[in-house]
């Protein structure tokens, strides 16, 4: 569409960029990772395995 003015393309790009960034930020900050219980158990086993028995 070469008839469209460059300011129109700039406005569309700004609106698209703002919407894209807003969507990504909402998805990033709404995700709450859950820590599995097996990780907690494994971390205590690893720390106990480093206890030297002289």
Give the 3-state secondary structure of 29-51.
Answer: HHCCCCCCHHHHHHHHHHHHHCC
**pLDDT band, very low/low/confident/very high, at 51 (cuts 50, 70, 90):** low
Place of tokens 């494994």: 42
Distances (CA, A) of 33 to 15, 26, 30: 30, 15, 10
Higher per-residue confidence, 54 vs 5? 5
**pLDDT band, very low/low/confident/very high, at 22 (cuts 50, 70, 90):** very high
Instruction: Give the separation between CA 25 and CA 54, rounded to whole angstroms.
Output: 52
As a whole number, mean pLDDT of residues 26-52 equals 67
Higher per-residue confidence, 39 vs 15? 15
Instruction: Give the separation between CA 16 and CA 31, rounded to whole angstroms.
Output: 23
């Amino acid at each position: 569409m070469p008839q469209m003015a460059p300011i129109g393309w700039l406005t569309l790009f700004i609106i698209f960029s703002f919407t894209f960034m807003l969507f990504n930020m909402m998805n990033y900050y709404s995700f709450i990772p859950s820590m599995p219980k097996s990780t907690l158990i494994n971390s205590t086993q690893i720390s106990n395995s480093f206890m030297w028995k002289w």
